[in-house]
Amino acid sequence: MSEAESRPPLPPFTRESAIEKVRLAEDGWNSRNAQKVALAYTLDTEWRNRAEFVTNRQEAEAFLSRKWKKELDYRLIKELWAFAENRIAVRYAYEWHDDSGNWFRSYGNENWEFDENGLMAKRFACINDLPIAESERKYHWPLGRRPDDHPGLSELGL
């Protein structure tokens, strides 16, 4: 089985493997590489993201490409909320700005369901955007993966 067909850790999840899966997802999204990130999803993945619905990997890649063209200087932190068998629930917050320089912190929750190969088959997201001043930003690492010593959501009071 190729890397594109399997994404460890695999279900059923333990607390440790669920935390690892969440961090791997965070790292992927922080790469802002839509083509690479889309490989973590099944060919027939189903998403609900705000009012948009995605029904396959190709649509997921297109969605992510559009997202990161609009949400500039995107930085994300995810945190495990709950897990069972092949499902994980996370809460997250990310910071970004639009092309006019307006900053936002977007908060949300996601429910994930994985197939037996560790690919995400379902992703249901609820998101709220809070306008913030640039001085209110809490995420200041260089674009890309969040450094291991950077505080998470709970430590930042988010």
Q: How confident is the model at residue 2 (pLDDT cuts 50, 70, 90)?
A: low
CB atoms within 10 A of CB 32: 21
End-to-end CA distance of the chain: 39
Q: How far apart are CA 151 and CA 145, in angstroms?
A: 13
Residues 152 and 75 sit within 8 Å (Cβ to Cβ): no
Q: How far apart are CA 153 and CA 23, in angstroms?
A: 12
* Mean pLDDT, residues 114-122: 98
**Which of 95, 35, 22 has its CA nearest to residue 62?**
35
Q: How far apart are CA 45 and CA 119, in angstroms?
A: 9
**Which of 156, 158, 152, 91 has its CA nearest to residue 126?**
91
Global pTM? Answer: 0.95
- Reported as a single tens digit per residue, the pLDDT across 30-68 is 999 999 999 999 999 999 999 999 999 999 999 999 999
Query: Computed from CA positions of residues 146, 151, 154, 158, in that sequence, does the dihedral angle turn out positive or negative?
Result: negative
Per-residue model confidence (pLDDT) at position 5: 85
Per-residue model confidence (pLDDT) at position 31: 98
Task: Measure CA 123 to chain center.
Answer: 10
Residues near 6 by Cβ (< 8 Å), separated by ≥ 6? 117, 118, 119
